[in-house]
């Protein structure tokens, strides 16, 4: 017995996030939370601060060697973060 207006929980949550204009912030938070998964535990442990502002990901790294390696992998990290978030939330990465 299916109704025409039945929705899955995921569809209902997506609709709610859009109505309250929280979808973009939710996607940004998801991207930041997936940092450890994308770069690995060793790099994540050396990350002091990470946040997104105006589609720019700001990352404070305490190791200059790790910062240099991440600079080389910058494009791939952006692709992976946007893929995890499900939309383009990061267009640039700035290492502090």
Q: How many domains does the chain have?
A: 1
Using the predicted structure, report yes or no on whether residue 71 has a pLDDT greater than 90: yes
Is the residue at 62 inside a domain? yes
- In the chain, beta strands by DSSP E: 47-53, 56-61, 92-95
Domain containing 65 equals: 24-95
User: pTM to 2 decimals?
Assistant: 0.80
Tell me the pLDDT tens digit for each residue of 23-70.
Answer: 888 888 888 899 999 999 999 999 999 999 999 999 999 889 999 999
Is the residue at 7 inside a domain? no
In this prediction, residue 1 has a pLDDT band, given cuts at 50, 70 and 90, of low
Is the residue at 11 inside a domain? no
Is the residue at 12 inside a domain? no
Is the residue at 57 inside a domain? yes
Is the residue at 51 inside a domain? yes
The chain-wide mean pLDDT, for the chain, equals 89
SS3 call for 93: strand
Average pLDDT in the 4-27 region?
A: 85
């Amino acid at each position: 017995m299916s109704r025409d207006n039945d929705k899955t929980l995921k569809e209902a949550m997506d609709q709610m996030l859009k109505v309250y204009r929280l979808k973009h912030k939710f996607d940004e938070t998801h991207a930041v939370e997936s940092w450890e998964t994308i770069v690995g535990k060793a790099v994540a442990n050396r990350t002091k601060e990470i946040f997104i502002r105006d589609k720019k990901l700001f990352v404070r790294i305490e190791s200059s060697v790790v910062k240099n390696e991440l600079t080389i992998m910058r494009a791939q990290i952006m692709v992976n973060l946007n893929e995890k978030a499900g939309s383009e939330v990061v267009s640039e990465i700035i290492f502090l």
